Chain A
């Protein structure tokens, strides 16, 4: 049953992506990318990654759709018709895809407990987390404790991206002194 749901949701995602490629109405494209994120979140639940599903549903389907729509309001709603047939990009993608499919034939079968990815440090984390940290959620323990340096780096990246957006779009002084410049309700 689990595998069946897995197959169906992934097929839905492939269909959504085909629609994203075809459409030129950017509003529809952004909405479809929100649906794509929501489908990704459901596939994460099926694959036991509940924390990741949570994040993807909140971030991918929520915040990033809102940001895309805000950008559409500031720029344009429709994509221009392409000038010439995209034969070269199509060829590049087909060749790259064929090489990747050839490479995938050597990969460990999906879901097997003796795949190489399951052998290295993961059993250590599952075994030691309870004694080392007293936290039942292994994902939180690895994120915050075993790989704390990594997460510190990620938080710094988010910090830097926030500063970058402020520097690009917000004027540093004006934002601090006067309230938002044009904020009538229909704006939102």
Chain B
């Protein structure tokens, strides 16, 4: 796509806004529509747009495959370890009220924030990995 000047420039202009919107959806999901699932997909679609226009090799240079694979597992680990943390603090598994003993509602809010982060990480990494895998597959 070396000749499509308009596409390349518009992609560069749009990309920061797509990623910023993804982050907004991630961290504002408690108050408005949004959350980890949506934010992960929007974040991934930003990078997919970039690799559609500039080629997968360029996208891989920004996002090495090791980071993506760490993200796939890391999100699930964040989620599960929040559960274990509430275990250790003396409550049931995934009962975030334990994260703040003085104000359980605040602990709940913190727990929701953390596990949405885990969900977003896993969903974004899986979507990007799946796309890169399809785009770079070849017959052996």
Contact = CB atoms under 8 A, between A and B. Distances in A.
A touches B (Cβ under 8 A): yes
Interface of A: 50-51, 54-55, 58-59, 62-63, 66-67, 70-71, 74, 131-137, 139-141, 143-145, 148-149, 151-152, 155-156, 158-159, 161-163, 165-166, 169-170, 175-176, 179-188
B63 to A, nearest CB: 12
Nearest to B76: A159
Given A152-B79, A180-B136, A145 B2 contact: no
Interface in B61-119: 61, 65-66, 69, 72-73, 75-76, 79-80, 83, 93-94, 96, 104-106, 108-109, 111-112, 115-116, 118-119
A66 B109 CA distance: 35
B12 to A, nearest CB: 15
Given A66-B48, A159-B73, A144 B133 contact: no
A162 to B, nearest CB: 4
Contact of A51 (B38, B111, B127, B137): B38
B34 A54 contact: yes
B41 A66 contact: no
A158 B36 CA distance: 13
Given A176-B66, A180-B57, A51 B33 contact: yes
A72 to B, nearest CB: 11
Closest 7 CB pairs of A and B: A162-B126, A183-B57, A133-B108, A70-B134, A180-B136, A148-B94, A144-B112
A151 to B, nearest CB: 7
B17 to A, nearest CB: 15
Interface residues of B, number: 65
A187 B38 contact: no
Q: From DSSP, what is the main secondary structure of chain A's interface residues?
A: helix
Contact of B135 (A136, A149, A187): A187
Contacts, number: 173
B52 interface: yes
B112 A63 contact: no
B14 to A, nearest CB: 14
A101 B53 CA distance: 47
Given A63-B127, A145-B112, A71 B65 contact: no
A74 B122 CA distance: 26
Interface in B20-58: 25, 29-35, 37-38, 41-42, 44-45, 48, 51-57
Contacts of A55: 37-38, 41
Given A50-B33, A170-B137, A180 B131 contact: no
23 contacts: A50-B33, A51-B33, A54-B38, A63-B45, A63-B127, A67-B134, A133-B112, A135-B109, A143-B35, A144-B115, A155-B119, A156-B76, A159-B72, A159-B75, A162-B130, A166-B69, A166-B133, A175-B136, A180-B57, A180-B132, A184-B55, A188-B52, A188-B56
